[in-house]
A = this chain, B = another copy of it.
Amino acid sequence: MNVEGGHGGVAIPPAKPFLKWLKCSLKETFFPDDPFRQFQNQPPSTSFLLALQYIFPIFHWAPRYSLQFLKSDVIAGITIASLAIPQGISYADLANLPPILGLYSSFIPPLIYAMMGSSRDLAVGTVAVGSLLMASMLGSVVDHNHNPKLFLHLAFTATFFAGIFQAALGLFRLGFIVDFLSHATIIGFMGGAATVVCLQQLKSILGLQHFTHEADLVSVMRSVFTQTHEWRWKSAALGSCFIFFLLITRFFSKKQPKFFWVSAMAPLTSVIFGSILVYATHAEKHGVQVIGGLKKGLNPSSLTKLVFVAPYMSTAIKTGLITGIIALAEGIAVGRSFAMYKNYHTDGNKEMIAIGTMNIVGSFTSCYLTTGPFSRSAVNYNAGCKTAASNIVMAIVVMLTLLFLTPLFYYTPLVVLSAIIVSAMLGLIDYQAAIHLYKIDKCDFLVCISAYIGVVFCSVEIGLVIAVAISVLRVLLFVARPRTSVLGNIPNSDVYRNVEHYPNAIHVPGILILEIDAPVYFANASYLRERITRWIDEEEDRIKGTEETSLRYVIMDMTAVGNIDTSGISMFEEIKKIVDRRGLQLVLVNPGGEVMKKLNKAKFTEQIGQKWIHLTVEEAVEACSSMLHACKTSPTKNESEGWNNV
């Protein structure tokens, strides 16, 4: 009988030199997409050009730029500018920063991104959630009313650190950290943040003078309903009308995608209409708050305004780190989704460097945190943009606005800005995605809803911490509790599959076949020991009452055990002892190359005996069955030979 397996058994792969192994591992870990592949076998001049194109994708697409592209990009650029201007002003207001910063931030960063970004559809600008987070985190150390200058400088500093952090993540190829914010977490977190932002808008929509500094639902509701006598009905009516108008146009554009420009132009239309209304009725003298004077001129330098002194710098670093990673998660996810629609590829690590650089440069030129917001990028995409040139067009339009048109915003009522924010935010509450999660994966839904509740009922920071904690806990649970299953034979075949999944699969008498579905290492080794012992117990209990052959062999299918560490090897040694003690024989099936190498180094292959390691379950079962039969015919002699003395 050939117990060594019909195909030569399980080989022990040749040992790799340590340095080669290290190089391979580092490459797999940090360069899974192998960005240097294109440089192989190229002359130096080509390599230089490729490197330039790699760092600045503009050199890649600009030479092939056509008039047709220009036409599309100009249209898209003007469209997103008309959205960017009112949104920029609104979000700067949300961040408790001077409104003009919103315009500054829509001028320089898009230019940087246009040169360095690998997405063709991302439209750069400020985001509501980032603005709110910045306001709340910096607000905890500096009051923007008492010391607006310091607050502003801290905002630049936080933006600087966000940029540094983002670019560093990209440079050190640590982009996978962003992956730990799962999709479900982001849906819940964004929805919660959008709800909180909407609640904040009740202040200007209801025209309230006093308002809570807390952002949670309970505080806001208490603040709103304890001062019903302060509600300004005019302001509320105006706000509701604008929200209704914006939502109607959005609904219309959604139904008729070719009229995308209707919803894209709606915010600017609202601003113009609202400003004219205030100007005509002199409502600013009757309690309707307006933006007031905006300084003419381009971004002043803010290089000297960065704060690197002790008590404030740590807050700026913390704020930069958290807002930076949130902004990154949004920007990268948005870039990737649109790339998917248009069938091209964005490089996560490169995107991080681009977004980081644009924030670093932004922090030197009076801009605050920018990224690629979903709403603006969607408009850009629908407007038919072809390349990142649409960002340049937008920047030019914003530049012209900064140079010539800022006085026009004097009479723009704040309530219109709130309406713009509310209508944008309502789009971020993606209840359909939440329902989808509920249907497919209850656990993902739980993560999502916890993040939402955390943000809405506690605070944005706490919600974020809850969301990340649940995500990490889930990873740890995934890792600590891998699946194991019992395999059975699918009738009329030599295929062995999970008996729970295939109820027609039949047990092989006297043999228990287990499959382990994860790499075995310290985090799950002791769980696996318990679980495997329990499988054996349960199998023995089941057999006890029946006429079946008693258990003799435990076959472990290790196909799915991708790797093992020293704790995992100890676990197998313990299992071997447990199994031996019960007079059973342990059989391994198809350990992978890495696993086989380590089992061999630890001398476990010797302990178990090469003849008990098979290439396929089929072979292992065959070998065990024939031994079982041999034992049955002469039980006293072979029994001891069969499984005790090996």
- Give A contacts to B, CB under 8 Å: 6-7, 11, 13, 18, 21-22, 28-29, 32-34, 37, 176, 179-180, 182-185, 336, 340, 343, 345, 348, 436-437, 439-444, 471, 475-483, 485, 490, 492-493, 495, 497-498, 500-502, 517-519, 521-527, 530-531, 533-534, 537, 559-560, 562-563, 565-567, 569-570, 574, 577, 581, 590, 592-594, 596, 598, 601-602, 615-616
Indicate if the CB atoms of A442 and B522 lie closer than 8 Å: no
Instruction: Assess whether B477 is in contact with A475, with CB atoms less than 8 Å apart.
Output: no
Given contacts A343-B577, A501-B596, A569-B440, contact A524 B179 (CB under 8 A): yes
Query: With contacts A7-B495, A33-B531, A440-B598 known, what are 12 further pairs, Cβ within 8 A?
Result: A18-B442, A29-B477, A176-B480, A179-B525, A179-B526, A182-B523, A437-B566, A440-B566, A478-B563, A483-B592, A483-B594, A490-B615
Contact assessment for B577 and A340 in the assembled complex, using a CB-CB cutoff below 8 Å: yes
Question: Cα distance A480–B590 when bound, in Å?
Answer: 24
- Which residues on B sit within 8 Å (CB–CB) of A182? 521-523, 565, 567
**Chain B residues within an 8 Å CB radius of A498:** 592-593
Given A439-B601, A590-B497, A34-B566 contact (CB < 8 Å): no
Q: B601 and A483: CB pair below 8 A? A: no
Specify which chain B residues have a CB less than 8 angstroms from the CB of A596 in the assembled complex.
Answer: 501
What's the Cα separation between A479 and B562 when bound, in Å? 11
Query: A184 contacts B522, CB within 8 Å?
Result: yes
> What separation, in Å, do the CA atoms of A387 and B592 have in the docked complex?
42
Contact assessment for B176 and A444 in the assembled complex, using a CB-CB cutoff below 8 Å: no
CB neighbours (8 Å) of A185 from chain B are: 522
* A-B contact list, 27 entries, CB within 8 Å: A22-B442, A28-B481, A29-B477, A33-B534, A37-B537, A179-B524, A179-B526, A179-B527, A180-B480, A183-B522, A184-B565, A343-B577, A436-B566, A437-B566, A440-B566, A440-B569, A440-B602, A441-B565, A441-B566, A475-B476, A482-B562, A495-B615, A497-B615, A498-B592, A517-B519, A517-B592, A518-B518
Q: Which residues of B contact A565 (CB under 8 A)?
A: 182, 184, 441, 443-444
- Residue in chain B with minimal CB distance to A477: B29
* Measured CA separation A13–B180 after assembly (Å): 30
Say whether A34 contacts B534, CB under 8 Å.
yes
Q: Are A479 and B477 in contact (CB under 8 A)?
A: no
Say whether B566 contacts A444, CB under 8 Å. Answer: yes
| Residue in B492, B562, B616 whose beta carbon sits within 8 Å of that of A7 in the complex | B492
Contact at A32–B481, with CB atoms within 8 Å?
yes
| A527/B566 contact (C-beta < 8 A), A29-B477, A481-B28 known | no
Contacts of A524 in B (CB 8 A): 179
Residue in contact with A179 in the complex, picked from B502, B523, B559, B615, CB distance below 8 Å: B523
Which residues of the other chain, B, contact A590 by a CB distance below 8 angstroms?
A: 497
- Which of A7, A440, A500 has its CB near the most chain B CB atoms (within 10 A)? A440
A646 to B: closest C-beta gap in Å: 18
Chain B residues lying within 8 Å of A518, measured Cβ to Cβ, are: 518-519, 562
Contact partner, A517, options B184, B444, B560, B569, Cβ 8 Å = B560
Closest to A501 in B: B593
- Which residues of B are found within 8 Å of A569, using beta-carbon distances? 440
Q: How far is the CA of A523 from the CA of B476 in the complex (A)?
A: 11
The reply to whether B481 and A478 contact each other, CB–CB distance below 8 Å, is: no
A436 proximity list for chain B (CB < 8 A): 566
Given A182-B567, A530-B32, A483 and B441 contact (CB-CB distance below 8 Å) = no
Q: Please measure, in the bound complex, the distance between the C-alpha atom of A41 and the C-alpha atom of B522, giving whole angstroms.
A: 36
**A180-B523, A440-B602, A531-B32 as given contacts; A574 in contact with B517, CB under 8 Å:** no
Residue of B22, B442, B502, B537 near A11 (CB, 8 A) is B502
Q: B560 and A559: CB pair below 8 A?
A: yes
Known contacts A180-B476, A482-B562, A524-B179; A574/B495 CB under 8 A: no
- Please measure, in the bound complex, the distance between the C-alpha atom of A29 and the C-alpha atom of B473, giving whole angstroms: 12
Chain B nearest CB: distance from A411 CB in Å? Answer: 46
Whether A179 contacts B480 by the Cβ 8 Å rule is: yes
B483, B519, B534: which contacts A563 (Cβ < 8 A)? Answer: B483
A448 and B340 CA atoms in complex are apart in Å by 43
Give bound CA distance, A590 to B485, whole Å. Answer: 14
Least Cβ–Cβ distance between A150 and chain B, in angstroms: 31
A183 x B562 contact (CB < 8 A) = no
Chain B residue with minimal CB distance to A483? Answer: B562
Most chain-B Cβ atoms within 10 A of its Cβ — which of A495, A501, A566, A590?
A566
Q: Determine if A475 and B479 form an interchain contact, defined as CB atoms under 8 angstroms apart.
A: yes
A500 and B593 within 8 A (CB): yes
Instruction: Flag if A592 contacts B522 (CB, 8 Å).
Output: no
Chain B's nearest CB lies how many Å from the CB of A617?
Answer: 11
Report the separation of the CA atoms of residues A6 and B491 in the bound assembly, to the nearest whole angstrom.
Answer: 11
